[in-house]
Amino acid sequence: MNKDVFDKKDIDISWCPGCGNFKILDMLKQTFAELDIPPNKLVVASGIGQAPKTPQYFNTNMFNGLHGRALSSATGIQAANPELTVVAQGGDGDMYGEGGNHFLHTIRRNPDIVHIVHNNMVYGLTKGQASPTSAVGFTTSVQVDGVHEEPVNPIAVAIAQNASFVSRAFCGHVEETKEILKQAIAHKGYALVDLLQNCVTFNKTNTFKWFKDMTYYVEDSYDPSDRAAAFARATENEKLALGVLYRRKTPPAPFHTHLHPHAAGETPLYRHRYEKAKMDALLDGSYR
């Protein structure tokens, strides 16, 4: 499938020139096309921010909801129709700040969704405040004396919560990131992709070059099912590990299979009420 089928024609993209979101948008289009996912079988849910604008530039189904609520929307969409490929997508502030509670409980529920977080370590839409992943000492127009709080470590949190799939990628590495995205989409259950990206306007510290210099890929012999080893990689400080860092050997059944006695069958949840009404009408003779 050609990635052009996902292009939305004649639409202005509102990101700054050089923003990492451009690379992520193009990589997502390539990934969906290479996996032959029909646009009408894909839903991208997002919240508020620069990163959550991404699905507005896709020729596919989208749900743009409240700040920090993309995961709950995506969970409901996938539960209603498990035939869909569902992606929850947003920034580090949207997903780990306002949406931090949903982050924790989505891991517990294990819906069959891909959770892509554009992590640029700053709030881009609201003009450069420190985000949950900003490092200690990071200065902004609001945090003029620098950030004092320790940053959230989403990879360590996800592994501590025993998420079924945890990965980290960098927008500057196209083929490697596409491979991580493909594995996340193929995974049956919740899959986190913490996707590092640069903000050219408000983050002059964690630049494109900084991410290239401060990251490395786990070696081929690395075992992502070893939770203790994965947690050790997640808490490294000198450099950030990239790749699939943790994958549960035996993940729990996806969330939608617990909702209805027929939810694991061929009939999507959204059709159950219709099918019951049709059966009732057949039984009482009112069906036409």
What integer pLDDT is reported at residue 67 of this predicted model?
84
pLDDT in tens, 141-182: 889 999 999 999 999 999 999 999 999 999 999 999 999 999
Q: Are 129 and 139 in contact (CB under 8 A)?
A: no
CA dist 172 and 49 (Å) reads: 21
Q: The dihedral of CA 205, 206, 208, 214: what is its sign?
A: positive
Looking at residue 178, its amino acid is K
What pLDDT, on the 0 to 100 scale, is given for residue 261? 53
Q: What is the pLDDT of residue 168?
A: 98
121 contacts: CB under 8 Å, gap ≥ 6: 92, 131, 133, 134, 135, 138, 151, 199, 203, 205, 206
Q: How far apart are CA 98 and CA 80, in angstroms?
A: 25
Rg (CA), the chain: 20
How confident is the model at residue 265, as a pLDDT? Answer: 53
- The dihedral formed by the CA atoms of 200, 13, 40 and 174, expressed in degrees to the nearest 10: -30
- The CA-atom distances, in angstroms, between 223 and each of 91, 179, 183, 208, 229 are 28, 17, 15, 28, 8
* CA 242 to each of CA 22, 51, 88, 138: distance values in angstroms, whole numbers, following the listed order: 20, 20, 20, 23
**Phi, psi (degrees; rounded to nearest 5) at 162:** 60, 40
Q: Which two tokens stand for residue 253?
A: 């059944």
Residue of 6, 24, 5 whose CA lies nearest to 15:
24
CATH number of 3-252: 3.40.50.970
Ramachandran bin of 184, using left for φ above 0, alpha for ψ from -120 to 50, beta for the remaining angles = alpha
Domain ranges of the chain: 3-252, 254-288
In tens digits, the chain (288 residues) has pLDDT values of 888 888 887 788 889 999 999 999 999 999 999 999 999 999 999 999 999 999 999 899 999 888 888 999 999 999 989 999 999 999 999 999 988 889 999 999 999 999 999 999 999 888 889 999 999 999 988 899 999 999 999 999 999 999 999 999 999 999 999 999 999 999 999 999 999 999 999 999 999 999 999 999 999 999 999 999 999 999 998 999 999 999 998 877 777 777 755 544 556 666 665 556 665 666 666 655
pLDDT at 73: 94
Edge-first strand order for the sheet with 165-170 is 61-64, 42-46, 85-91, 114-119, 191-196, 165-170, 240-247, 215-217
User: Tokens for 200?
Assistant: 């050219």
What pLDDT is recorded for position 3?
A: 82
